[in-house]
């Protein structure tokens, strides 16, 4: 997963001492923090921005997973692609006022645990 590199334009920078995995964790951490600090429904600008940013992150991740040079095992790629599809669809439901952000937070936290080696993502 190297999908977070394009997020540098959005303030997700890492020093040269950090690994790509650290940068990926940092991107998920920042987006998840945005989701957690905003109301769970999209009746405000903070939640809309958080959900949009989360959708952007998952879209970039999906593109990275689909790249022929992505070295992750096929089962891991398939699982993450499935999560990406759900996160994007659920984000659209949140934006339409039909759902809350809690599942997005849960998914991101699961990925973060996986990036830290605390469980499969």
Q: Is the pLDDT of residue 5 over 60?
A: no
pLDDT of residue 21: 87
Calculate the alpha carbon distances from 32 to 29, 73, 100 in Å: 5, 25, 14
1 alpha-carbon distance from chain centroid: 11
Q: Which of 10, 46, 36 is closest to 104 using CA atoms?
A: 36
What element of type H or E holds 20? helix 20-37
Q: What percent of the chain has pLDDT over 70?
A: 84
- For the entire predicted model, the pTM comes to 0.81
Distance (Å, rounded) from C-alpha 87 to C-alpha 55? 7
- Label residue 42 by pLDDT band (50, 70, 90): confident
Question: 7-19 pLDDT, tens per residue?
Answer: 444 444 445 577 8
């Amino acid at each position: 997963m190297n999908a977070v590199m394009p997020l540098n334009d959005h303030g997700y920078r890492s020093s040269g001492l950090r690994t790509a995995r650290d940068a990926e964790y940092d991107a998920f951490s920042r987006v998840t923090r945005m989701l957690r600090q905003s109301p769970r429904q999209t009746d405000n600008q903070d939640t809309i921005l958080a959900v949009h940013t989360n959708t952007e992150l998952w879209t970039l991740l999906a593109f990275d997973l689909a790249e022929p040079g992505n070295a992750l095992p096929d089962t891991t790629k398939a699982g993450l692609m499935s999560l990406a599809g759900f996160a994007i669809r659920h984000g659209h439901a949140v934006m339409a006022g039909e759902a809350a952000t809690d599942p997005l937070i849960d998914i991101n936290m699961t990925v973060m645990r996986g990036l830290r080696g605390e469980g499969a993502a």
